[in-house]
Structure 1
Amino acid sequence: MDIEKFFDAVISQNEEELKKYFHKNACIKWHCTNERFHVEEYIKANCEYPNDWNGEIERIEKFNDTVILVCRVFPVDNSASFHVVSFIRIKDHLIAEMDEYWSDDGAAPEWRRKMKIGTAIK
C-alpha cells in the first residue's frame, strides 16, 4: 500500500480514491473524540469535513503489519493547524484497522510558559 497516496486522498477529500485503500469491514477509531467508524462513515466524515485542506507527512514508521503515520494537517487559509498520529494495520495491502489521535496545535499553556522551560521544536 502506498501510504503517501493514501494521505493525498485523505487531504484532497477524494471519496472514490479513499475507497480503494480499505477492507470493506475495516474499523477506524478517533480516540480523542471517542468515535468508531465503518469505512463508509469514515469516508463521509473525512470528505464532508468543511473547508479545503493541505497537509504534510512528518514521519512514517513501519513495523510488521503496522504503519505509523505522523502528519500536520491545516486548512488552505492556514487559519488552524492540527497534528494526527495514525496507527494503520495493513492486511492484504489494504487498511484493516486505523487508530487516530488528533490534536490542535498551539502555544504551550500559560502555567508552563511561566516556568520558562523548553524551547520551540521549529
Structure 2
Amino acid sequence: MGENVVKLFWEYIHNADFDSLNELISDDASIWLPNTKEVFKGKRKYIEFNKKYPDRWYVDLEKLYVCGETVISVAKIFNSENTASFYVTSFFKVNNNLIEEIVEYWGDNGEPPKWRLHEKLSERY
C-alpha cells in the first residue's frame, strides 16, 4: 500500500497539484533534506515550500522499492525548458496510508569530469 501512496505523491508533484499532497502526508510529518541540512516540520510547511519553489518542475519516476514500511524511490526531476535536471533518492516512511517521514538526497545531473573521460575510465551513455 505504501507503494501506491508514493506513486501518487510523485504524480501530484509532477502535475504541480500540491494541495492534493494534504491527503497523503500526515499533519506532523517531517521531511528531511540532508544536502541542505533542512527539515520541514509538518505537511503545511512542506506543501508551501513546493508551491513557492521557482519554475515548473516535472518528474520521471525511475525506480521504486518497498522495504517493510519504507518505500524508496529514485526520480529524475527536470524543469519546463529541460535545461536543468536532478536526481532525487527518497526514503518514505508510510503508516496507515499516510507519509510520516521523507528523507531526500538530491544530486546534480550533469557532465562527468573531463579527466575521467580523457583517461577512458568511464564512458558516456
Question: If the length of structure 1 is used for normalisation, what is the TM-score?
Answer: 0.91
The answer for the alignment partner of 1:96 in structure 2 is 100
Whether 1:112 aligns to 2:116 is yes
Structure 1 distance, partners of 2:46, 2:119, is 41
CA distance in structure 2 between the aligned counterparts of 1:97 and 1:80, rounded to whole angstroms: 27
Residue identity opposite 1:46 in structure 2: N
Alignment of 1:1-122 (within 5 A): 1=2, 2=4, 3-38=6-41, 39-120=43-124, 122=125
| Equivalent position amino acid for 2:13 in 1 | V
- Partner SS for 1:45: helix
Q: Which letter does structure 2 place at the counterpart of 1:112?
A: R
**How far apart are 1:34 and its partner, in Å?**
0.6
Following TM superposition, by how much is the alpha carbon of 1:8 offset from its aligned partner in structure 2, in angstroms?
A: 1.2
Does the 8 A contact of 2:19 with 2:47 survive in 1?
Answer: no
Q: Which moved more, 1:80-89 or 1:101-110?
A: 101-110
Aligned counterparts of 1:19 and 1:53: Cα–Cα separation in 2: 19
Percentage of identical aligned residues: 31
Structure 2 distance, partners of 1:95, 1:112, is: 40
Moved over 4 A (4+): none
3-state DSSP of counterpart to 1:113? helix
Query: Alpha-carbon deviation of 1:5?
Result: 1.7
**How much has 1:60 moved relative to structure 2?**
0.2
TM-score by length of 2: 0.89
Question: The residue matched to 1:112 in structure 2 has which SS?
Answer: helix
Q: CA RMSD, aligned part only?
A: 1.3
